[in-house]
């Protein structure tokens, strides 16, 4: 726990037991679909063909110290990662899932942070709206939710329409060996200095000292 290699070793171990033990269990139990992201697993199965409690027990008997838990759909709905999957009569529909403890707090517009950091959350929301396979009612619901979050943090809601839909695709094409310079952001003065790098091969990244950890430090 806490070691830089933890995530990599955990993934190697999980892939190993998936290919050596879990695959046979899934085949024997007639599980139709298996999807995993890190430590979250989604199983698709027919109730009349698969005993899901037996699958759970078999999973938990694979190795000591590794315990699987089970969450089943309720009223035809199941949450997986940041999605709510709803089972209809002929198809599945997707919606954005937010935990009950989720708040609408992002970096507010009047905070002394660089614009790039303020826009990060808004770009993430916009990218999710345009890349997830949401039907029209679910997409409109998410747009309304995001606009409310933006408004509550003192932004003009029209900013959502101006955010590029393909921001992540553009980032993937950036040169892997791109050189970066880092500046501590203190306001307009920092922006004035970093403009000097606009037509160079260097990219600018900002950091701030007004983090919660810094604010709580004793003097």
Cβ–Cβ under 8 Å, residues 183 and 91: no
pLDDT value at 78 more than 70: yes
Q: How confident is the model at residue 138 (pLDDT cuts 50, 70, 90)?
A: very high
pLDDT surpassing 90 at residue 211? no
Over residues 84-98, mean pLDDT? 90
Domain ranges of the chain: 6-72, 115-167, 174-216
Query: Could you tell me which residue, 198 or 173, shows the higher pLDDT?
Result: 198
Q: Identify each DSSP E strand in the chain by its residue range.
A: 33-37, 40-44, 77-80, 83-87, 92-96, 179-184, 202-207
Pair 181, 205: CB distance under 8 Å: yes
Averaged pLDDT for residues 163-168: 56
Nearest to 147 by CA among 129, 165, 169: 129
Q: Which residues pair with 93 in a beta bridge?
A: 86
CA distance 89 to 114: 48
Classify residue 157 by its DSSP letter: T
* pLDDT reported for residue 134: 92
């Amino acid at each position: 726990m806490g070691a830089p290699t933890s995530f990599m070793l955990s993934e190697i171990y999980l892939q190993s037991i998936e290919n050596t033990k879990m695959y046979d269990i899934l085949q024997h139990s007639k599980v139709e679909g298996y999807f995993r992201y890190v430590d979250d697993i989604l199983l698709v199965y027919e109730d009349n063909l698969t005993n899901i409690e037996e699958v759970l027990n078999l999973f938990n008997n694979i190795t000591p110290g590794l315990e699987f838990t089970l969450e089943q759909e309720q009223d035809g709905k199941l949450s997986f990662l940041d999605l709510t999957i709803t089972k209809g009569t002929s198809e599945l529909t997707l919606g954005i899932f937010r935990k009950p403890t989720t708040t609408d707090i992002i970096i507010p517009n009047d905070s002394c942070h660089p614009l790039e950091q303020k826009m990060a959350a808004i770009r993430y929301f916009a990218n999710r709206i345009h890349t997830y396979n949401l039907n029209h009612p679910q997409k409109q619901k998410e747009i309304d939710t995001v606009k409310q979050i933006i408004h509550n943090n003192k932004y003009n809601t029209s900013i959502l329409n101006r955010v590029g839909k393909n921001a992540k695709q553009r980032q993937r094409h950036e040169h892997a060996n791109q050189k970066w310079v880092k500046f501590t952001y203190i306001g307009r003065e920092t922006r004035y200095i970093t403009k000097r790098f606009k037509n160079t091969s260097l990219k600018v990244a900002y950091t701030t000292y007004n983090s919660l950890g810094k604010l709580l430090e004793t003097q």
